[in-house]
């Protein structure tokens, strides 16, 4: 075998898995189809659960040297009024805020940390397009250039459209998502505080993610409504954004045409079986999450930690990983089910109530959260720490 571990996909789940398995001394290669991490319209939220993991690794201070803004609480602006919905200041550990950090900065940091370990290798411009099988067991991947790479275990971390998941025939359950999202950017002046907020007004919902000198905008729409919105023209789109999120009004003219607006087709699904002999799916390849709460990245990182916690020591002893793969799924399926269930509830009771409702009245759940400070700790804990959060328990070889 060329390696102990092949990780297909250099996103948050894949890079974290690469770091932890190499940290344990297992020969690990991450194959990433792109030549760099500079892809726009990726999530930027590094949640308290992830910050605390890097604190456990002794890397948090170095991570926070990368450009970021701190978001200690979450507000939703409904009908022109700000409503407080989550407060992270009461969470345990040092991660009592969301770090708004460009994902390319985060991934580059993880890659740099992983390179401290001689067992780690990162191959860019290396797209995994198929699995390699030997006697019914996955033993490697085939790359787009025609070459093959072999390993004791292949980790599919190649996203919600996972090629390896499909090639391995893993069964997927589609839970249905009633929304899609238009992504765009609008220039802004830099401010001392991070101005990330969600806006609900006039039957529309827009999230403005503050990236310093521009907003990354997300206009939430009903599933399948994209063509009807496009048919109204880009001027109407700009006007709707400005009316819903006035903080963006001064810069909406930068949205010159539909080429500046990207449609994210939202998926909500999960594998009913995450593995087969020689292969394990994690992150979006195992469960696509809704954008609600921005939890997908952090849930994917928790998968990587759980996989390393369970698999590293048996593999270091020379055991086949196959018998242990089911334990990864069993460990992570409960959090996935619970978070997806909560996202479906938000789809129905908050987003569904907001879209098309021109009354400008905040949904009941939002009003209750704003009124009772103790209630705001509940979404903060769910969004910030998740369910059954992981801790670093995998071993460390000498760097």
Per-residue model confidence as pLDDT tens digits over 71-108: 888 888 887 788 888 999 999 999 999 998 888 999 99
Q: What is the mean pLDDT of the chain?
A: 91
Give the Å distances, CA to CA, from 226 to 235, 262, 268, 287: 15, 10, 18, 24
Q: Which CATH class is domain 3-71+93-175+267-353?
A: alpha beta
Residue 42 has pLDDT above 80, yes or no: no
131 SS3 class: strand
The single residue listed with the structure tokens 């401010």 is: 191
- Tell me the whole-structure pTM to 2 decimals: 0.91
Residues 6+ apart with CB under 8 A from 276: 138, 168, 169, 170
Residues paired with 130 in a beta bridge? 142
pLDDT in tens, 313-347: 999 999 999 999 999 999 999 999 999 998 888 88
Residues 6+ apart with CB under 8 A from 130: 141, 142, 163, 164, 167
Distance of CA 340 to the CA centre of its chain: 13
199 SS3 class: strand
Delimit the domains of the chain by residue range: 3-71+93-175+267-353, 179-264
The most confident of the ranges 202-216, 225-239, 337-351 is 225-239
Q: What average pLDDT does this structure show over 116-139?
A: 97
- Residue 390 — pLDDT band, cuts 50, 70, 90? very high
Distance of CA 49 to the CA centre of its chain: 13
Give the Å distances, CA to CA, from 87 to 52, 79, 320, 373: 17, 21, 44, 8
101 touches 111 (CB < 8 A): no
Handedness of CA 4, 10, 13, 17 (dihedral sign): positive
pLDDT in tens, 155-202: 999 998 999 999 999 999 999 888 899 999 999 988 887 878 889 888
DSSP letter, residue 342: H
């Amino acid at each position: 075998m060329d390696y102990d571990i092949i990780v297909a996909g250099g996103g948050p789940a894949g890079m974290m898995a690469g770091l932890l398995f190499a940290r344990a001394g297992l020969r690990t290669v991450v194959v990433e189809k792109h030549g760099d991490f500079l892809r726009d319209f990726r999530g930027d939220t590094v949640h308290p659960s992830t910050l605390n993991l890097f604190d456990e690794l002794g890397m948090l201070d170095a991570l926070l040297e990368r450009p970021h803004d701190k978001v200690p609480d979450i507000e939703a602006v409904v009908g022109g009024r700000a409503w407080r919905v989550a407060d992270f200041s009461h969470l345990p550990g040092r991660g009592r805020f969301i770090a708004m950090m460009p994902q390319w900065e985060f991934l580059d940091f993880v890659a740099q940390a992983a390179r401290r370990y001689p067992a780690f290798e990162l191959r860019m411009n290396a797209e995994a397009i198929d699995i390699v099988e030997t006697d019914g067991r996955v033993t490697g991947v085939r790359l787009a250039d025609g070459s093959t790479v072999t390993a004791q275990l292949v980790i599919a971390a190649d996203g919600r459209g996972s090629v390896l998941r499909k090639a391995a025939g893993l069964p997927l359950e589609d839970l249905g998502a009633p929304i899609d999202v238009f992504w765009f950017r609008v220039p802004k002046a830099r401010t001392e505080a991070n101005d990330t907020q969600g806006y609900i007004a006039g039957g529309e919902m827009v999230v403005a993610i503050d990236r310093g000198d521009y907003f990354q905008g997300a206009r939430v729409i009903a599933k399948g409504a994209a063509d009807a919105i496009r048919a109204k023209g880009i001027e109407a789109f700009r006007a709707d954004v400005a009316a819903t999120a006035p903080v963006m009004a001064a810069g909406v003219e930068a949205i010159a045409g539909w080429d500046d607006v990207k449609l994210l087709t939202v998926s909500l699904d999960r594998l009913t079986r995450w593995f087969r002999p020689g292969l394990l799916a994690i992150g979006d390849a195992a469960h696509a999450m809704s954008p609600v709460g921005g939890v997908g990245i952090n849930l994917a990182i928790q998968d990587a930690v759980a996989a390393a916690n369970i698999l590293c020591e048996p593999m270091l002893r020379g055991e086949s990983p196959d018998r242990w793969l089911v334990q990864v799924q069993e460990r992570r399926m409960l959090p996935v089910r619970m978070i997806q269930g909560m996202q479906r509830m938000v789809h129905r009771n908050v987003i569904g109530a907001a879209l098309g409702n021109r009354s400008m009245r905040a949904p009941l759940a939002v009003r209750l959260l704003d009124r009772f400070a103790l209630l705001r700790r509940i979404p903060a804990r769910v969004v910030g720490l998740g369910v059954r959060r992981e801790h670093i328990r995998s071993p460390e070889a000498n760097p």
